[in-house]
């Protein structure tokens, strides 16, 4: 750190959050202005904004991992997930909002990968906010043109016998990948299986962790 | 953008700043209240010149789009926004000062 902020207090006497003490940008100024106008016009309250941030912060890839582990162990659930991803995840208590969730399954001969070429659509209500690379120009441009080389950058090298299918998300349709269940995991329970499911494996840029011997 | 040539996928990641989380929350809450749709958000993002992807951050592009949608929807006027932005800037030079109590 270039200097220490411990003595740097806001007018309210509280220390600044680390990201609050840099020079105000034009766009931050606009965010504050819009937020205050919306509160003054009683469209939202400050508490609702804080609540929405807390809800979003609480979502994480662990939610998606629980869905995958259930799909691996419960054939009836897997059927419901295939038929209606939104309803099946809601049944597990996840609030996925109005979006249509489509689960796509990886097999020995098929690998699915998800992108949003237009913007950054992502199953955010199931996995939390997308990683920065998912929103990057490079990922969005190249995944539809050369998915195998993009996957290789993530360390996923697939034989030619495996078909790669790229799914382009839309505002209303979000995809989640059900990675292939690793070999040798027959004896594991749902919670142990969920630990093998990474965020990237549910985007398709990774595989589920294999079992450590 | 899909299909364009581009360099390696960046592997850096960052924790979202509070102002970015607030932009995200405003998008969700305003959409829930019918002030715009996700398609409306995307329309403005897609209309932006490609340079904006090099010069502006993700949530900077989002606040531009949210603003345009809210003005078009008549939620507030450009004059109201200008007045409020001046008021915000007069509070101080940092986000912490300008965002008030």
Residue B95 tokens read as 């986000």
Phi, psi of A193, rounded to the nearest 5 degrees = -65, -40
Long-range pairs of A79-82 with CB within 8 A, sequence gap ≥ 24: A81/A178
Task: Kindly name the residue from A10, A60, A119, A136 that is annotated as catalytic.
Answer: A119
Residues A67 and A121 in one domain: yes
Indicate if the pLDDT at residue A158 is higher than 60.
yes
Number of domains composing chain B: 1
pLDDT in tens, A27-46: 999 999 999 999 999 999 99
Nearest-neighbour CA in chain B from A111: distance (Å): 19
Q: What is the pTM of this model?
A: 0.82
Average pLDDT score, chain A:
90
- A119 an active-site residue? yes
Residues A199 and A108 in one domain: yes
* Residues in chain B closer than 8 A to A35 (CB atoms): 22, 26
- Answer whether residue B4 is part of any domain: no
* Residues in chain B closer than 8 A to A48 (CB atoms): 29
pLDDT in tens, A163-202: 999 999 987 789 999 999 999 999 999 999 999 999 999 9
Q: Give the model's pLDDT for residue A7.
A: 47
- Answer whether residue A209 is part of any domain: no
- Answer whether residue A173 is part of any domain: yes
Residue B20 tokens read as 């970015």
Q: Provide the domain limits for residue A50.
A: 25-57
- ipTM, two decimals, is 0.91
User: Looking at residue A176, what DSSP letter applies?
Assistant: E
Q: Give the model's pLDDT for residue A21.
A: 66
pLDDT band with cut points at 50, 70 and 90 for residue A15: low
Instruction: Tell me which residue has tokens 């220490």.
Output: A4
pLDDT in tens, A93-116: 998 877 799 999 999 999 999 999
Residues A73 and A115 in one domain: yes
Q: Give the model's pLDDT for residue B10.
A: 80
Q: Give the model's pLDDT for residue A98.
A: 76
Residues A102 and A177 in one domain: yes
How far apart are alpha carbons B92 and A20 in whole angstroms?
A: 12
How far apart are alpha carbons B94 and B71 in whole angstroms?
A: 26
Inform me whether the C-beta atom of residue A177 falls under 8 Å from chain B C-beta atoms.
no
Render chain B in DSSP notation, one character per residue: -TT----PPP----PPPHHHHHHHHHHHHHHHTTS--HHHHHHHHHHS-TTHHHHS-HHHHHHHHHHHHHHHTTSS-HHHHHHHHHHHHTT-SBHHHHT--
Cβ–Cβ gap B89/A29 under 8 Å: yes
How far apart are alpha carbons A2 and A100 in whole angstroms?
A: 47
pLDDT over 70 percentage in chain A: 90
Higher pLDDT, A157 or B50: A157
Residues A43 and A146 in one domain: no
Q: Give the model's pLDDT for residue B18.
A: 92
Cβ–Cβ gap B9/A133 under 8 Å: yes
- Answer whether residue A7 is part of any domain: no
- Answer whether residue A14 is part of any domain: no
Cβ–Cβ gap B81/A30 under 8 Å: yes
Number of domains composing chain A: 2
Residues A46 and A144 in one domain: no
- Answer whether residue A68 is part of any domain: yes
Cβ–Cβ gap B1/A141 under 8 Å: yes
Instruction: Tell me which residue has tokens 């924790």.
Output: B15
Indicate if the pLDDT at residue A10 is higher than 70.
no
How far apart are alpha carbons B7 and A144 in whole angstroms?
A: 14
- Answer whether residue A208 is part of any domain: no
Q: Say how many CB pairs under 8 Å bridge A and B.
A: 188
- Answer whether residue B1 is part of any domain: no
Nearest to A12 by CA among A23, A20, A4, A2: A20
* Residues in chain A closer than 8 A to B56 (CB atoms): 27
| Residues of chain B with confidence (pLDDT) below 70 | 1, 101
Residues A158 and A128 in one domain: yes
User: Looking at residue A38, what DSSP letter applies?
Assistant: H
- Answer whether residue A211 is part of any domain: no
CATH of the domain at B68: 1.10.472.20
């Amino acid at each position: 750190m270039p200097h220490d902020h411990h003595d740097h207090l806001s007018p309210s006497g509280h220390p600044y959050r680390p990201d609050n003490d840099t020079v105000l940008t034009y766009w931050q100024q606009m965010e504050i202005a819009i937020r205050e106008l919306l509160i003054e016009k009683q469209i939202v309250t400050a508490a609702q904004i804080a609540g929405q941030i807390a809800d979003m912060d609480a979502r994480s890839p662990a939610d998606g991992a629980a869905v995958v582990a259930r799909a691996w162990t419960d054939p009836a659930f897997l059927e419901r997930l295939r038929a209606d991803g939104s309803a099946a995840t809601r049944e597990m208590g996840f609030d996925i909002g109005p979006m249509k969730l489509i689960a796509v399954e990886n097999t020995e001969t098929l690998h699915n990968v998800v992108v949003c070429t237009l913007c950054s659509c992502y199953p955010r209500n199931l996995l939390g906010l997308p990683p920065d690379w998912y929103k990057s120009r490079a990922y969005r441009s190249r995944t539809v043109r050369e998915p195998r080389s993009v996957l290789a950058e993530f360390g996923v090298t697939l034989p030619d016998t495996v078909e790669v299918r790229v799914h382009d998300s839309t505002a209303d349709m979000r995809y989640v990948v059900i990675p292939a269940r690793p070999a040798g995991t027959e004896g594991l329970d749902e919670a142990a299986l969920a630990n093998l499911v990474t965020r990237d494996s549910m985007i398709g840029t990774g595989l589920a962790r294999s079992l450590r011997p | 953008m899909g299909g364009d040539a581009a360099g390696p996928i960046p592997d850096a990641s960052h924790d979202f700043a509070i102002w970015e989380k607030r932009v995200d929350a405003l998008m969700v809450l305003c959409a829930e209240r019918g002030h715009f749709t996700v398609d409306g958000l995307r329309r403005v993002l897609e209309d932006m010149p490609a340079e904006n992807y090099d010069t502006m951050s993700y949530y900077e592009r989002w606040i531009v789009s949210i603003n345009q949608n809210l003005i078009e929807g008549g939620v507030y006027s450009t004059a109201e926004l200008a007045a409020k932005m001046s008021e915000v800037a007069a509070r101080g030079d940092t986000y912490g000062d300008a965002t008030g109590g």
